[in-house]
Amino acid sequence: MRRVDREVASDEAMRFLAEAADGVLSMAGTDGAPYAVPVNHAVVDGCIVIHCARQGQKIDNLRADARVCYTVYRATEIDFEELTTRYMSACAFGRAELVEDVAVKRQLLERMTEHLAPGAAFTCNDEQVARTGLIRIWIDSVTGKANR
C-alpha cells in the first residue's frame, strides 16, 4: 500500500466488511479480461457469501479461475477545504466456490437473510434453495484503507 498512513488494521477492515451489505466482486473473465460486478453479501463464519443465479458470467469465471477480490467502500464526505474524500474501504482476497450442498446452502442463505433483512423470515423450501446459486469466498487476506 502506497499510503501506509491510511492503512487500517486487518481486524478493523474485516469488521467493516462484515458490517457492509454490498460491494464489488472482481475476478478474471474467461478470456482473461477483468470482470467486476456489484452484489450484496454477508460475512458468515469468516467467509463472504453472495447469492446469484446458477449460470452466467460470474459462474463461468469462477469455474475458470477461483481467485477473486471483493471490495466494500463508503465515502462519507468530500472535504472541500482540503480537496479530499473522507472514506473507508476494505478489499478481501481469496478463492471462491459455488456451494452445492443444499443443507449448507440453506444455512448460509438463512444467515445472509439475517444480515441483509433483519427480522425477515427465510421461507424458501429445499427446491428453491437448490435452484439458488450461492458463492462462498474463503478469505486469504483483507486490507483496509481510510481517510478520516
Output the pLDDT for position 3: 80
Residue 98: CATH number of its domain: 2.30.110.10
**pLDDT single digits (tens) 119-134:** 999 999 999 999 999 9
What's the pLDDT band for 138 if we cut at 50, 70, 90?
very high
Count of the separate structural domains present in the chain: 1
Residue range 79-83: average pLDDT?
A: 91
Rounded Cα–Cα distance for residues 40 and 50 (Å): 6
The model carries a pTM of 0.93
Domain with 133 in it? 4-147
In the structure grid, which three cell numbers stand for residue 25, read together? 466482486
Classify residue 4 by burial, with Cβ atoms within 10 Å: 0-12, 13-18, 19+.
exposed
Q: What's CA 46's distance to the chain center, in Å? A: 11
**pLDDT single digits (tens) 1-32:** 778 888 999 999 999 999 999 999 999 999 99
